[in-house]
Amino acid sequence: MKKTGAEIFVECLKKEGVKHIFGYPGGVVLNIFDALFDDKDLKLILTRHEQGAVHAADGYARASGKVGVALVTSGPGATNTVTGIATASMDSIPLVVFSGQVPTLLIGNDAFQEADIVGITRPCTKYNYLVKDVNDLARVVKEAFHIASTGRPGPVLIDLPKDVTSGITDFVWPEHVKIRSYNPTYEGNKWMIKHAAHEIAKAKKPVIMAGGGVILSGASKELKELAELTKIPVTMTLMGLGGFPGTHTLSLGMLGMHGTYYSNMAVQDADLLIGIGVRFDDRVTGKVATFASHAKIIHIDIDPTSIRKNIRVDIPIVGDVKTVLKDMLKVLKEETKEPWDAVRKSWLKQISSWKQERPLRYTYNENVIKPQFVVEKLYEITKGDAIITTEVGQNQMWAAQFYKYDKPRTFLSSGGLGTMGYGFPAAIGAQLACPDKTVIDIAGDGSIQMNIQELATAVIDKLPVKVAILNNQYLGMVRQWQELFFKERYSYSHLDVVPDFVKVAEAYGAAGLRATKPSEVEPVIKEALKIKNKPVFMDFIVDWKEKVYPMVPAGASINEMLFEEEKKTEKRLKAVK
């Protein structure tokens, strides 16, 4: 039976098991929107901005493990997706973004709402397509989902000219994908795995550094088994939070610029560092020349270009994290008979001492709300059983530090690109992916305004997303750097006019609550959690002077940290430069 390109598009998504699309209509994609009008199996979530659509698809993908899908029109509709695509690319999130395009005969003629979105997104997609023939459409969609979800995941863009979606042909669904130039390596080198296992067996002070690859490959169970078997402490990157239980005795929390004292100290003192699904980002390593300088480094990653890209590596293992860890566990169980408790006893004692010496802390004030207190209360009241999304800045770091993530896919944040405005639409996507879960966006008063229009999306779809706004009237992380490094010259970081977020929420048909003192924080959170049929803004008026600690200054080693109690920082800053 012959179908139009638009009908083929719909059938392809059904074949891929897609249930939700996030998008915004426009002239050249009206054929597709018309095909979606009567369809009962696909639900399009109408966002209020194309960037919001891609972030929502991203949140959906991170929370569910499935491929997120977005659909937008040509020109500005397509270019508005770029930030969302780049966000997903940096964090290796599987998306397929469909953009409309002017008819093929007009491409290159500067037609109305024409943009070379294939060229524009080439640096920030895993792959992209311009479909020129309706007969290629089904194959391209099949390939796109395959590429997005296999190997190191990432976003794929498909550009659809109007004449392709209106063209007619037979619908032929390819059951298999075969791309000669694309063959990700899943099995790790057996000799390297054995070599790594032997190094683990003889190491006196090993540390596991777990990244987002652990979550993406579904390897949390294997990681936990490895850590418990060998008694090796685990630190996590921002993207790795939840990959290993945050409440586990072997957990060191997050490392890096705003990591825990004991995590950073352990990495710097380790004799073996096992990097699993990480890319050794600069916010993690600090000064590269001194990072883990006493350690041999094992690096496991499915992307060969990530290995030795930023940090020297002694034992590189290219392969899927889950597959490699299974093989490594087998070797460790068969070939090593180490009394792990005795081998690691002094190392774990040292780490315990560091934990007691400098735990994560802040100074409580009964008259003003500390932002860390809000995050702690969210954790306490939800019992850690929530999906947390974040914006970017201080709110993101406090969410990483003071909420404990015991399960994968419960912390969703823009790690690599650091995208303000990510958290709220991502929470919408996560809520649709996990309708029975509590979803909370921990936001700043600056970043929430980047995509605040998505309140309409959440209201219309009756999504009970909770937004905890840590309202300090500043671009908080910018202000923190200006205080520490720019002599308190707060150049354009003070948000002189911040809207009444309670009234904004109510204007959209959502609920708005506010807390101005610590005693009001818990009642506000509990009241918000009772509301089940619409989004809630919780406006917490917090201490504007509060900073994120510990902090590693730019260019310093990760064990050269600033702490809250050091009121005068100039001497300390000079010492670490």
Start-to-end Cα distance in the chain: 70
**Given 16, 50, 222, 454, which residue is catalytic?**
50
Give me the residue label for tokens 């954790």.
379
Is the bond leading into 245 cis (omega within 30 degrees of zero)? Answer: no
**Given 66, 142, 162, 370, which residue is catalytic?**
162
Q: Which residues contact 548 (CB under 8 A, 6 or more apart)?
A: 258, 394, 397, 398, 401, 477, 480
Contact 252, 208 (CB under 8 A): no
**Residue 219 class from Cβ within 10 Å (0-12 exposed, 13-18 middle, 19+ buried)?**
buried
Please say if 265 is a catalytic residue. no
**Given 14, 15, 19, 113, which residue is catalytic?**
113
CA distance 231 to 255: 19
Compute the C-alpha angle 149/416/491, nearest 5°. Answer: 150
Q: Which of 389, 401, 393, 391 is nearest to 358 (CA)?
A: 401
Q: Which residues contact 185 (CB under 8 A, 6 or more apart)?
A: 302, 304, 318, 319, 320
Please say if 356 is a catalytic residue. no
**Given 112, 204, 357, 462, which residue is catalytic?**
112
Question: What sign results for the dihedral spanned by CA atoms 462, 465, 470, 473?
Answer: negative
**Given 209, 239, 477, 538, which residue is catalytic?**
477
Q: How far is CA 298 from CA 260, 272, 307, in A?
A: 22, 8, 10
Paired tokens of 482: 């200006």
Please say if 482 is a catalytic residue. no
Contact 405, 378 (CB under 8 A): no
Q: Is 311 strand, coil or helix?
A: coil
CA distance 482 to 477: 9
Please say if 162 is a catalytic residue. yes
The number of beta carbons lying within 10 Å of the beta carbon of residue 506 is 13
The identity of residue 445, as a single letter, is: D
The identity of residue 338, as a single letter, is: E
CA dihedral 309, 310, 315, 318 (to 10 degrees): -40
Give me the residue label for tokens 């029109």.
73
Q: Which residues contact 422 (CB under 8 A, 6 or more apart)?
A: 55, 58, 87, 389, 390, 391, 392, 413, 414, 447, 451
Task: Write the Ramachandran bin of 87: left for phi over 0, alpha for psi from -120 to 50, otherwise beta.
Answer: alpha
Contact 35, 9 (CB under 8 A): yes
Please say if 473 is a catalytic residue. no
Distance of CA 456 to the CA centre of its chain: 24
CA dihedral 42, 440, 218, 348 (to 10 degrees): 180
Residues annotated as catalytic (active site), given as ranges: 50, 112-113, 162, 477
